[in-house]
């Protein structure tokens, strides 16, 4: 990332939320929990797509929406995490963790 850290405003976070929910509805993905913060987001999402590819798709969708509404710029750092939640207890812990994050 060539720019400094980006801190999303309330309106930018709302834009990201709407963009991700729209694409999830379009593709039949399930958002179990999502918390969009100023400098990153957490989400527990079920989708028929590899974790890393899903992460990149969500970043692309959010970037397009942000660019359209707020102007073109770099929004995200490269990479990020994409964890697979195979065990029920791990899945539940992840949902609870995201639910406890500060929300706008």
pLDDT of residue 2: 53
- Indicate the DSSP class of residue 27: H
What is the mean predicted confidence (pLDDT) over 3-30? 93
The phi and psi torsions of 86 (rounded to 5 degrees) equal -80, -30
Q: What is the pLDDT of residue 58?
A: 94
Report the pLDDT value the prediction gives residue 1, as an integer from 0 to 100: 43
User: What pLDDT does 8 receive?
Assistant: 92
Strand partners, 46: 30
pLDDT tens-digit readout, 25-80: 999 999 999 999 998 899 999 999 898 999 999 999 999 999 999 987 778 877 77
**Topology adopted by domain 10-99:** Alpha-Beta Plaits (3.30.70)
pLDDT value at residue 3: 62
Distance, in Å, from the CA atom of 29 to the CA atom of 11, rounded to the nearest integer, reads 24
Region 2-25 average pLDDT? 91
Q: How far is residue 36's CA from residue 101's CA, in Å, rounded to a whole number? A: 9
For residues 74 and 14, the model is more confident at 14
> pTM to 2 decimals?
0.85
């Amino acid at each position: 990332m060539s720019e400094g850290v980006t801190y999303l405003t309330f309106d930018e976070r709302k834009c990201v939320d709407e963009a991700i929910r729209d694409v999830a509805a379009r593709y039949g993905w399930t958002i179990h929990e999502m918390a969009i913060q100023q400098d990153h987001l957490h989400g527990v999402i079920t989708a028929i797509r590899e974790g890393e590819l899903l992460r990149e798709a969500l970043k692309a969708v959010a970037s397009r929406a942000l660019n359209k509404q707020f102007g073109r710029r770099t929004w995200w750092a490269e990479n990020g995490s994409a964890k697979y939640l195979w065990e029920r207890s791990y899945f539940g812990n992840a949902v609870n963790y995201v639910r406890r994050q500060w929300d706008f």
